[in-house]
Structure formats: C-alpha cells, structure tokens
Chains A and B, each alone.
Chain A
Amino acid sequence: MRKILTVSIFCIVCFKGIAQNDSLLNRLEEVVIQADKKLKKYSVGYKVTTLNDSVIVRNTESFTSLLRFNSPLYLREYGAGGTSSASFRGTSSSNTAVIWNGININSINNGQTGFNSLTVSLFDAIDIRSGGGSLEYGSGAVGGTIHLNDYLQFTNTKQIKNQLVASLGSFETYRGLYKFKFSNSKLAINAGVSYNQSENDYKFLNTDFKNTNGAYENFGFNVSAAYLLTNFSKLKFYSANYLGERFFSGELPNPLAANDKYQDFSHRNLLIYTHEKSRLSHEAKLAFLTQEYRYFEDKTSSTFNFGKSKRYLVNYDISYSFPKLKAIVTSHSEYESVFGKTDQISERNRRQFSQSIIYNQNINSSVSFNTKLRKDFNSDYDVPFTYALGVKVKPFRNLFFRANGSKNYRVPTYNDLFWPGQGNLDLIPETAVQGEFGIGYKNNQFLIDIGIFYINAKDKIVWTPGGDPDRPGIWVPINLSEVNNKGLEVSLTFNKTFNEHAIKLNMNYSYIIATDKATDNQLIFVPKHLFNSNLVYTHKRFSFFYQQLLNGKVYTTESNSNDFVIPHYFVANTGLEYKLINLQQKQLTIGLKVNNVFNKYYEVQPRRPMPNRNLKFNINYKF
C-alpha cells in the first residue's frame, strides 16, 4: 500500500518519480567494462533500449536506417545517405544528443550530429534512452540520448576473437568490417576497422531519373583497451576515428542539378583511470576530440566551406556507498574547453565547468530511485540549474512502474551566436521541463512498456526571417517559441522458443502531439504516428527476418497547410540468414537482405525519393 501511495503522489505532483533501467535486451553486466557508467547507474525510471551486435550487423546500411527501423526516433534524411537528423518525442533534432562512451559529441557549430556522418557498426552496442539527459550529458540532451558504447572484457584465460563482416549490395555498394578482441585477466583490447563505399545511384521510381551525385565512401578505425593496474584500479583508453566523403544528391524535378560534396573527419580520444576500493570509488577522465567538415558547393572546385572544432575535457567523479542504506552518492565535476571556427566565424573558445551531485538508493528490493542536481558555469552565458529525478517501483513480481522528471537545456550553438551578420549574441539557452510515467510488465518471454510523457520547452531557438524587426527578411535566430509535447510510447518485445524454433518480436509505437503554444498547431516535421517492428524467426541454422516502418504524415508549414505535407509512408525489409558453420569458436553466417521489399515509392524529405527495392548479400564470420 505504501508503495502504491508513493506512486500516486509522484504521479500527481508532476509525473516525477518511479522506475527502473529497463534495457529491452539483457547485458552481461558483471564482466563488461563500460566507459560510461552513468547510463546504467542513473537511468532509474527511464526507458533504455539496447541495440546489440546482431541488430547492428543486420542493419549496416547506415546509422539512419538502423535507428529508423529499430528505435522510436523520427529520422529526417535528405535522400538515402544524405544529411540526416534524428528526433525524440517531437523535439527538434538539436535536442537529440549523441553520446560516445559517455561524452556528448554533438557539433559545437550546429548543435547536432549527422546520422550519416558516422558509422556505428564498430560499436558493440547502441543504447537509446528516451527522456531528458542534460543532467548527465549536458546541452542538447532534451528529447533523449543515443549512446555509442565499446565493451571491454577481462577474461580468466587468454582469448582472441575475430569478426569479419563483408557485404555486397545493389547500386555498387561494398561494405567491410573487421573487429578484433583480445583479452586476458589483466588486459583487454578491442580494435576494429570499417570501410563502406557505394555509388548509391538508385532509380527514382516513376521517373526517368537516378539518384545521381549520391555516392559515398567512408573509413572508420576504433581502438579501445583496458588494463588492470592493481586489484582496485584500471586504466582505459578509447579512440574512434572517422573519415568520410559524400556527395549530396539532388531532388526532383532535376536531380542532375546536384553538384555538391561533403567531407567529415573526426577523431575522438578518451583516457579513464578508475580506482575502486571498499566504499569509495574515483574516476578521472581526460578527453580530446576534434571534428571537421568541409562542404564543397561545387565538387569540381577546390574551394570549400568548413567548420572545425577541438574539445578538451577533464572529468573527476567520486562516489561513496552506504551499504546499509543501499545508497550511493556521487559527485561529478567536469571542465570543458571548446574551440570552434568555421570559414565564416573566427575561432571562439567556450569554457564550461559543471558540478553535479547524484544520490541513488534502493529502498528495498522493489523501490529504487535517484535524484540528480547540476549547476553549470559557462563563459558565454548563464546555464540554468538542472535537476532530475527517477523512480522505479516493482510492487509485484513482473509488474513495474517507472517515472522520471527533469529539467534540461540546450545552449545556443556557435552558428546561432556568431553567424556573420545573422548570429544573435542575446540568445539564452532553451530549457525544457518534462515528466514521464511508465508502466510495464516483464517476464522471461515478454516485455511491454507503456509510457506517457509531457515536455514543456521554453525559449526555443528558432531561425526566422522576421527575427529582427529592424531587418525584415534577414534570417536570424531568436528565443521564440514555447512548445508542448505530449504523447504515448509503447514498446514491446516477445521471445519464444519451442523445440528448434525461436521467435523474437520487437515493436515500437509512438503517438506525439507537439504544438506551438502560439498557434496550437502541430510542429513541422513531427509525425503523429510512428510505428516500427522487427520479427526474427530462427529454425536450426536458418533465420528469417522482417522489419517494417510506418511513418505518419508530417506538416512542413506552421499553419499545417495540407498543401505542404510529406505523406505517410510504409516500407519493409526482409532477409534470410544461414549458418554455414556453427561451432563454439567459429561461426560463419551468410545472409541475403531485401530492402524495400514491396518496391514502394516513398519520400522522407520532399522531392527526394528513397531507394527502390534493392539487395544486400552479407557474410559474417566470427573466429
């Protein structure tokens, strides 16, 4: 009764409260070493979905398509392989933070991550956490966070594992990926290289055109290592490097007009020292990250626009546990210095110090919660004080309630502030207060999680031609709108094995009402309905899978004019896999995937048809 009362109070107050870390897939948490401990520890009350290695390997087309078919995010992509952004729960794409091994890697220049300008197939798992995360991950983590994680593992005996994945696909697409893992009781090393190349010149259905100028090529190289210094201390190192070149394809009525090219270079390095002895644990992090893009408006010309940034980050955590209370209190201190410039903006330096305190407690086996507070000191402007609270209650064996509430923010980007002639130095950070309440049921075969959320975002930074009344027609960013997002998210997984048959089903559905307070209209580029599902059926050495997406209609004008919409679309992919070798130490799988199996015409962005039916042949060799 007391539990239920607690739940009700939290719900009534403001949806802050209750919950649990509900990864939809189980992890080997005991032995895996992660760079980012915050995600696992402090996601009480949040919904966290993990996309594991097998899902990633099945969806190597792009980070965009991986998320589109396997997560509750809405992806906007300017033609397959083009510029791409992702959003949670009707928030804007700059409200989605991408977190690499615990570090927010959104660009300092535009505040976003391009979802086709990084390859993720080298990561061991991708976690998707819906809900505000500014407290742990800083600016931009308003709608949710996407975590790219490397898992390192010490083993009692020496182990060497190799994985080679190669694929050949339509439109002259070649992909290769090699991962190496070494481990013993003191040392763990992961290394991986990936290479992708595609002409990507798919036919535009119902037209005489092809996706000309859509080719891409990229190379990724990741290394991570952990070393056991003493029984209490470890040293960990992570490095991720990416080089990519893409051409930006054109749109109807004349895709031949496209003539631009884009290059990305990023290098991310992170060193972590941890010391854990009895009740006290320390962790120190040192990170250095660089990012650069070059945009060639004319691919034949050597002139380009660019943006570059360098980031230095120092972080110190100390936590102390109270075993009797089953509680942990943690202090995070972080100092960051960022240098950013573009061809239009001379180099600027932004420094930020943040301090947060987190308190975690399991009251008993069925109630756990955490409370978090954070204060930032920024060299450019005042960042609001942020807080978050998460609670999970498990009143019965399989039933759980979860709730969370938080205040989050997004600081203006360098483009917002300093864009020549248009940047606005008077901008303040946008803030969002949100709450979520979820109820779920979980047993060995079945998991369902139903959550309702509410987000109130104020001072949204919007670029508008009427931003400065003295200069009509000049696009300037201002703290303009107040928006309310509310909706429902349902996710479901089902696993069943009988005799030699196994079925696995995943589904995500979201219903989102996101309105501008001034007009009460649905925000542009926010689909009310988003549904995807994945079905995998395995029999002995055979696997069959089917994935589908139903993406609702979106409006592209503030007045929700029916003349300017992107119609809803449905697209499905399917595939067959066969294990040629299936031994403990060695597995060889071959697979064939058919994307857009019904050969449907669909557009994610206006006048940019997406690929017609296409094939991918895949070999996955683990040894």
Chain B
Amino acid sequence: MKISKLISKAFILSALFLASCSDDDSPQQPKGDYENGVLIIGEGSGAGTGSVSFISNDLTTTENLIYKKVNATELGLYLQSITFDNDRAFIVVDNANTITVVDRYTFEDDATITTGLETPRYMAIVGNKGYVTNWGSTSDETDDFIAIVDLNTFSVDNTISVGNGPERIVAKDGKLYVSHKGGFTNNNVISVIDIASENVQEVTVKDKPDELLFNSSGNLVVLSEGRTLYDANWNVTGNTLGSISTINTSSLTVSTELNFADGEHPSLMVLDNATLYYELGGKVYSIAEDASALSSTPIVESQGYLYGMEVENDKIYLLDASFTDLSELNIYDLITKNKIDTKSVALGASKIYFN
C-alpha cells in the first residue's frame, strides 16, 4: 500500500512540476475522469465481479464499477491489488490469473496478461519490470514464485522461485522484500531478493507476515498476524503471537519486535507521518514508528467488518467490507475523531489508493 502511495505521490508531483514547467500560462489539462481522487478496489464474490470505485478528492462524486463502465467488461474474481507506475495501473486478479493494465486516470484498457501467472497477489515495479508474487498451485507449497513481467511487452519473461505463500512485495535499493503469509497454509519468513543476481535470503519473523513498509530510517516494518492453532477436530488449541517487527535492511536481522498478547491477531498496517496505524479486533490503534510498546487505546472503533485502511491528510479511510453487497467506506477526521462521510463502494472492498 505505502509504496504505491509514495510512487503515486511522486508521480503526481512530478507531473504537476513538468506540466507547470512546460506551459506556465495555460490551465493544466485533466488526464482523465479518475484523476484527483481515491480508488477503492473490491475483491468481488459470487454476488458480483471484482471492481474499482472512484471517489473525488472533495468527496462529492462517487462512481462504482469504473473499469466496467469504461471498457464494458468485468475484471473478474478476486481483485487482489493495484500497482501504479507513471500513468498506468496494473490490476492483479488472483483467481483469474490476470493482470489488467489500464490508464490510471482514464481506466481505458491497455492489455491483459493471461499467461505465466498462478494466483498472483501483489506487484512491485522496478524500472520497466514488474515483480509479481504468485502462490502457484493450491496443492503444492513448493511451486510458489515471483513472476517477472516486462512492462513494455506485458509478457512474463522469467520467474524466481521462493518459499511458500508470497504476499506483499516492496522494492528498495536493488532489492525486493516479500512477506510470506503462507498462501493456502502458513509461513513466517520475509524473502529478500537481490534483483541483479536473483539470490534469495530469508529472515524469520512471527507467523503470517502481511503488510510491509519502510520507515523513515529506511528499515522494513512487518505486520505478522500470528496463527490460531487447531487440533484434528478443529478445536482451538492455542495461538502463536502476532507482532510488528522491524528488520534492519543492512544487516537483515530483526531489530525490534512488538508482540501482541496471546490470542490477539492484528491486521492492516499503514504508515503516515511517521505514525503506524494498525487494526486489532475491529479497532484502530496508532503508535509512533519508533515506539517501543504497542498502544492500548484505540483511536477509532470501526463499523462492521474492517477490511481495508488508509491514512492521508489527517483523515483515516476505513472499509466496512460486504461480500454480498456493496461495501461502505467510512472516513474519519483523525484530529476530531468524527466521522466525515460514508460512501457506498465496491463489493468486497479491500484496499484504498490515492490517485
């Protein structure tokens, strides 16, 4: 989430800068209907396709199913993530094994990658290459891989074999960092891949690592959910710990680990203004990125099923996901803690991107 946001911010700024440099006097041409707003993606379900909703920055306009409206086709199931480059959005749909490439501001279809992917999850972009995590076959824990996509030809040129269940992927300084949540089962490592040599190293963290982001010092912060353990009859027998771990990107060791109490399974973590926000039991907590302890006081209690979260400009965006109908986006002012607005958005809404 975070990296794509940074990229998007960088490109918006650079685009503005370039636009203002080249022609100071004439007003800036809009790049498309979906510029200057928030994109919400929904995974979809048996009740309807995975889809993208758009909300204008001033919150006056909400438009659902924008891809379908522009292109008259559906994205399919289950829409997992979007990664952006300068002017394109790469929409990853895991069950369909596709990445649909669209203009990020008009949402006009450019290409769909239909081969070389097997349950793709997230993508990171370095240069003109996309690196896509793939779970591989459901019945094989050893065939998981990173697909390397040529972003000019849209073909999968090469793969890098990795451990079970690669999830998020972020890039920094010639390296890819991959959280192995475990796909159809469980895992507890972060892969660090040298892009040039394709050499893979692993760092062990707590069970089910998911969100990855870089803090202000350039180190990697990981949210591990921890596992619930069952016996053969599916009775709960125990838990493993959830944690927010920080990995020193130079030494590739875990430098700090903030563990949750036994039985607590956090999810969703974002970073904004050196503050970490995370979800626990439907409530949102925040701590400083260098905090030495977790918080015990929630800042916002969400409504319904908190399935996606973002923070920007002192506003927190929380998704109350429905898989049988449209979901709700609730926007809160982080200073007053008041709810600013509620919008009806994509079915199975899971992620928020600022476009």
B35 CB-CB contact with A under 8 Å = no
Is the CB–CB distance between A559 and B326 below 8 Å? yes
Distance of A322 from chain B, by nearest CB (Å): 53
Q: Is B347 an interface residue (CB 8 A)?
A: yes
The B-contacting residues of A in range 93-119, CB under 8 angstroms, are none
Q: Are A253 and B100 in contact (CB under 8 A)?
A: yes
The DSSP consensus for interface residues of chain A is loop
Chain B contacts for A298, CB-based, 8 A:
137-140
- Kindly identify which residue among B96, B140, B230, B347 contacts A254, using a CB–CB cutoff of 8 Å: B96
Please measure, in the bound complex, the distance between the C-alpha atom of A473 and the C-alpha atom of B46, giving whole angstroms: 15
How many chain A residues touch B (Cβ–Cβ < 8 Å)?
32
A597 to B120, CA, bound (A): 39
Which residues of A (415-461) have their CB < 8 Å from a CB of B? 420-421
Shortest CB-to-CB span from A266 to chain B, Å, is 25
**Docked pose: A567 CA to B97 CA in angstroms:** 26
C-alpha gap A465/B307 in the complex (Å):
12
A301 touches B139 (CB 8 A): yes
Judge whether B305 and A473 touch: CB under 8 Å.
yes
If A253-B76, A466-B304, A524-B47 touch, whether A557 touches B347 (CB-CB below 8 Å) is yes
Q: In the complex, which of the residues B115, B138, B306, B326 contacts A557, with contact meaning CB atoms closer than 8 Å? A: B326
Q: Is B114 an interface residue (CB 8 A)?
A: yes
Residues of A within 8 A of B68 (CB): 563
A346 CB-CB contact with B under 8 Å:
yes
Task: Kindly state whether residue B82 has any CB partner on chain A within 8 Å.
Answer: no
Q: Is the CB of B140 within 8 A of A561?
A: no
- Closest residue on chain A to residue B136 by CB atoms: A298
With most chain B CB atoms within 10 A of its CB, the pick from A251, A346, A464 is: A251
Do residues A254 and B98 form an inter-chain contact, with CB atoms below 8 A? yes
In the bound complex, residues from chain A placing their C-beta under 8 Å from that of B73 are 252-253
B325 part of interface (Cβ distance < 8 Å): yes
Given A465-B323, A524-B47, A563-B48, A303 contacting B139 (CB threshold 8 A): yes
Task: Tally chain B residues at the interface, Cβ within 8 Å.
Answer: 41
Given A298-B137, A564-B347, A606-B49, is A257 in contact with B95 using a C-beta cutoff of 8 Å? Answer: yes
- CB < 8 Å neighbour of A607 from B74, B114, B282, B306: B74
Q: Which of A565-623 contact B (CB under 8 A)?
A: 606-607
Q: When the two chains form their complex, are residues A559 and B325 in contact, meaning their CB atoms are under 8 A apart? A: yes
B48 touches A556 (CB 8 A): yes
Chain A residues near B93 (CB-CB < 8 A): 253-254
Q: Judge if B199 is at the interface, Cβ distance under 8 Å.
A: no
What separation, in Å, do the CA atoms of A121 and B162 have in the docked complex? Answer: 50
State how many angstroms separate the Cβ of B140 from the closest Cβ of chain A.
7
Task: Flag whether A558 is at the interface (Cβ < 8 A).
Answer: yes
Q: Among A253, A421, A465, A472, which residue has its beta carbon within 8 angstroms of that of B96?
A: A253
Across the interface, name the chain A residue whose C-beta is closest to B94.
Answer: A257
Instruction: Note all chain B residues with C-beta closer than 8 A to A301.
Output: 137, 139-140
**Which B-chain residue is minimally distant from A251 (CB atoms)?**
B76
Known contacts being A298-B139, A473-B305, is A252 close to B325, with CB within 8 Å? no
State whether A420 touches B234 (Cβ < 8 A): yes
Which residues of B (305-339) have their CB < 8 Å from a CB of A? Answer: 305-307, 321-326
Q: Which of B46, B77, B324 contacts A464 (CB 8 A)?
A: B324
Is A256 engaged at the interface, CB distance under 8 Å to the other chain?
Answer: yes
Q: Shortest distance in angstroms between B326's beta carbon and chain A's nearest beta carbon?
A: 6
- B48-A564 in contact (CB<8A): yes
Expressed in whole angstroms, the minimum distance between the Cβ of A347 and any Cβ of chain B is: 12
Residues from chain B with a CB closer than 8 A to the CB of A250 are: 96
Selected from B96, B114, B138, B140, the residue in CB contact (under 8 A) with A251 is: B96
The answer for the CA separation of A256 and B112 in the assembled complex, in Å, is 13
Which chain A residue shows the least CB distance to B138?
Answer: A297
CA distance A472 to B140 in the complex (A): 30
Interface string of A178-218 (1 = CB under 8 A from B): 00000000000000000000000000000000000000000
Residues 464 to 520 of chain A near chain B (Cβ within 8 Å): 464-466, 472-473
Contact A563 B138 (CB under 8 A): no
Give complex CA distance A607, B95 in Å: 13
| Nearest CB in chain B: distance from A378 CB, A | 22
Closest to B282 in A: A472
How far in angstroms is the closest Cβ of chain B from A520? 15
Collect the chain A residues with CB atoms within 8 Å of residue B139's CB. Answer: 297-298, 301, 303
A251-283 Cβ-contact flags toward B at 8 Å (1 or 0): 111101101000000000000000000000000
**Nearest B residue (CB) for A465:** B323
- Decide if B114 touches A256 in the complex (CB within 8 Å): yes
CB of A621, distance to nearest CB on chain B (Å): 44
| Distance (whole angstroms) from the CB of A306 to the closest CB of chain B | 13
Shortest Cβ distance from residue B96 to the other chain A in the assembled complex, whole angstroms = 4
Given contacts A466-B304, A472-B282, A524-B324, 13 further A-B contacts (CB under 8 A): A253-B73, A253-B76, A254-B112, A257-B97, A259-B137, A298-B137, A298-B139, A301-B137, A346-B233, A473-B321, A556-B46, A557-B325, A563-B65
Could you list 14 A-B pairs, sorted by A, with CB under 8 Å?
A251-B77, A253-B73, A254-B98, A256-B114, A257-B95, A257-B97, A297-B137, A421-B230, A421-B234, A472-B282, A473-B321, A564-B47, A606-B48, A607-B76
Interface residues in chain B, defined as those with a beta carbon under 8 Å from any beta carbon in chain A: 46-49, 64-65, 68, 73-77, 93, 95-98, 100, 112, 114-115, 137-140, 230, 232-234, 282, 304-307, 321-326, 347
Residues of A participating in the B interface, judged by any CB pair closer than 8 Å:
250-254, 256-257, 259, 297-298, 300-301, 303, 344, 346, 420-421, 464-466, 472-473, 524, 556-559, 561, 563-564, 606-607
